[in-house]
Every structure is written in structure tokens, then in C-alpha cells.
Amino acid sequence: MDVNQFREFAKSAVDFVADYLENIRDRPVLPSVEPGYLHKLVPDEVPEQPEQWQEVMKDMERVILPGVTHWQSPNFHAYYPTATSFPSIVGEMIASGLGIIGFSWICSPACTELEVVLMDWLGKFLDLPASFLNCSEGPGGGVIQGSASEAILVAILAAREQTVRRVKLEHPEMSESEIRGKLVSYSSDQSNSCVEKAGLLAAVPIRLIKADDNGSLRGEELEKTVLTDIENGLIPIICIATFGTTGTCAYDHMDELGPICKKYNIWLHIDAAYAGAALCCPEYRPLMSGIDWADSFNFNLHKWMMVNFDCCAMWLKNADTLVEAFSVDRIYLNHQFQGQSKAPDYRHWQIPLGRRFRALKVWIVLRTIGAENIRNNIRKHIHLAELFENYVKMDDRFEIVSARSMGLVCFRLKGDCSLTRQLLEKITERKQIYMIQAKCNEKLMMRFVVAGLDPNEKDIEFAWNEIVGQTCELLQPRKLAVDDSVIDKVANNFATILTTASHQEKLK
């Protein structure tokens, strides 16, 4: 493919994406395919000869789109948003064209330095503690990870290595393997599944502590569990707190957890994957009381900041802990500028060596959309969730399971859980809207999240009408269908009974 063909192909692709997003409401949000559908539509082997790009674009409609779940549809209400925007798509395209692998400053100074600047922009935008910022006097700093899953794993690994070094100094009689075998971590039983997975990958057991009735982890429960583990000879290393749980968007009590973590030398990490973006709105900052206690913090720009996946911002009070945990130097990685504060080698701050130029799309989004419009977009999502909540409250067949939080409403049909399950199955089969189930206080519920590209009040009304329509079908009186021959048989038997002498006596 020469450059002129590339221009044509790329312009066609942009038109394809623009048309897709512009008309996304017209598509059922869930695909109507069975497992293995795509295998029947493509060859078994790589084509020997090149095909024309026009044929590839035709197959986007024939092969790919039939199997796509439309995450950007405003009828997608299942998971927290995985956002995008036109500026972000352009930024992703340019970054791909530049083809930078920015594992060290010298690999592309702009890649590293733009990220340093942007992490300070974002930290100030969310009003994070100054100790988290690259521009602060201390060792704090920010980095863009791929996802919250990576950020949490990085935090656990850094806390693990920091604890091992500390305990070795305090107890030189203990071997390193003995120390590692005693490590333990903590989180809420409402935390995301990636927390438990990070514990598996880091070879550190995670204690999932029961949350309170509001879905929040409390300090008293954490301390009780920590003391039991210490009495049993275990060594606590980290607590993963959640700001906006997956199930109900609840908030752990940082102001309670923080002093306990400090008391027992436990790293406190805050996973704010979804709700963290709302901190850019001053009215939601009080929810993060106690953030000053945290050692690290993450939120996903790809959930509510109009940046496409993958893009997770992570800050640390002491970024040196990452360098100490992950630093592996080879002669081919060295350069004359390493070690300077404004030129970090981000390979020491993450799991992989290579890294994409994610900062570029963030920079383009923040510049072309602006802080005010990002705040307004978040407020609009929350307003639409309030609108949906009001619809639910006006229908006495439903109940709100937990208080609406941000853009999430958790609700159910009153009565047995089987009714809610059947309703969700009917809605899912029709593919007009997409929600998922969860449990809260042993009650099965449906999660309705405001998501998609540019949702509006009509989309919320459409979703509610779909829910009400399927509810009416589910709850309508069920007709008993009886075969005519059965009716005749019953009638004949009854007539025979009436003619018997004994029955005549009873009638008298």
C-alpha cells in the first residue's frame, strides 16, 4: 500500500466510524449471533495474495459489525461507561501513526514530558493532594497505566517489595522466602474482581472484608481483621479501598481506613476507576474525605473523561517505590539523561517495558473539549440517572435497592428474586437495551448505568418504556389453555356422577 492508497483507506475508515457513531441508536445494542458465527464467514488460513482495502471495508459490515456489542450506544446500561469522543479517536490515530514505544525519555522526549505535564494537569483538575503531583517538591508523581487492573497490580507489587525490604531490616533472622510467605492484603468484598486477580498474580492473599449495609468498607472491620492476622504471624502490606464500587457505586471510608493503615504500616491504595472523574466537579470533592491518607490513587480516563480505552491515571506519594520495585537496567537501556525529575523513565513505573503514547489523546481531548465541558458531561450523566430513578420511584411494582450514586441506579421488581431475573432475561433477549444483574444484601437487582456517546433524556425514556413493556408482559394474568377433549371428558364424568343413585341420595 502506498501513501495515496493509505489516504483513501484512512478517509474511508473515518467515514465508516463517523457513520457508525452517528447512527448507533438504530442498531440493537446486543448482537444476534451464536458462538462460532465468525469462523463461518472467514477463510481458515491467511490469504496468499493481498486483497483490496475496499473488500476489507465491505467485510466490516458483513463480518465484524454483526458480532459487535455497541458500547457507545446510549442504550448500553450494563457496565460503567467505556467512553470515547471524536478528538480522542483522532489522538489515537495520530499516536498509532507516530508508532512511539516510550519506555524511556530518550525514546521520544515528547512522549514522556507530555505525560509528566498532563498528570499534573489532571491532578490539579481533580484537586488531588499536592504530594501526588510531579511538580511538588517531594517524590510524588503520576503515570498513565493501561487500566485500573494494572494500577492495582502495580500498587500491590510495590507495597510487597517495600514491605519485604522493611521486614528484612527489622528481622534479619527471617529469610526472604519466609517473609514473602507471610504477606497478606485487604480489600472490601464489594471491590472489583481485578483486586482479587491482582492478589493472585502478586502471590499475595487478599482478605475480602465484609462491607456494611451501604456497601462501604469501615475502619473497625479492617482493624479487627488486621489484628487477627498479626496475632497469627502474618504481615499486612496493602489495603485496596474503593471510591465507587462496581455493584452499587459505594464509597469506602477513607478517613477511617487511613489512620489504621498508617498505624500498622499498610499501604493505602484508592481505586476510583469510575467515580474518580467526578472529583473534577467541586460539589463531589467532599466524598473523598480522607484521600490525604492514601499512598496511591487511580481513576480511568476512559470511563468518564471522554478518552477512549485504554487510559488509567495513577498517582503515588512516593514514586521511588516503583523504581525500587521494578528497576531492571541493561546497557542498551541506559542514556545520558536518566534520573532527572522531568525526564522519568516510565518503564520503571509499570509492568511491561514498552508503552504507548497515551498522553497524546488525553492532551487533544483536554484542549479541544475543555474542563468546563467535561464537568458538564459528568453532571449530565448524573442528571439522567436522577431522571431514571424518578421513573422507578413512580412505579410501585419496583423498588430502589441502594441509593442512586453518580450515574448508577440499582433497582428490582418487588417480590421474589426470580421475577427480577425473568424480567432481565426478557429485556436481554429483545436486545433493545442492555443491563446486567448484581446482588446487594442478598437481593438480586438490575444495574442501570448511564453510558454511551452523548445520551439524552429521550434515551432514558426509551429505556424505561422498554422496561415497563416487558414488566407488563411478565406480570399479566396467565391464561390457562385447556384442550377441548379434556373439557368434554370432565363434563361426561360429572354427568355420570350425578346420575348415580348414591349421589341422588346425597342431593336429597
Is 298 noted as a catalytic residue in this protein?
no
Crossing angle for the helix pair 358-393 and 457-475, to the nearest 10 degrees: 50
| Helix count and strand count (H, E) for the chain | 16, 11
Question: d(Cα 63, Cα 42) in Å, to the nearest integer?
Answer: 8
Helix (H, G, I), strand (E, B) or coil at 172: coil
Question: d(Cα 472, Cα 173) in Å, to the nearest integer?
Answer: 70
Calculated CA dihedral for residues 159, 162, 163, 166, nearest 10 degrees: -160
Residue at grid coordinates 413512580: 394
Question: d(Cα 410, Cα 426) in Å, to the nearest integer?
Answer: 18
Please state whether the peptide bond connecting residue 310 to the residue before it is cis, i.e. omega within 30 degrees of 0. yes
Among 4, 23, 75, 192, the one annotated catalytic: 192
Do 437 and 446 meet the contact criterion of CB atoms below 8 Å apart? yes
Handedness of CA 466, 472, 473, 475 (dihedral sign): positive
- CA-to-CA dists, residue 362 to 87, 111, 130, 308, angstroms: 9, 12, 21, 9
Neighbours of 150 (CB within 10 A): 19
Residue 191 has, within 13 A of its CA and on its CB side, a CA count of 29
Question: d(Cα 313, Cα 273) in Å, to the nearest integer?
Answer: 9
Point out the residues that are catalytic.
Answer: 192
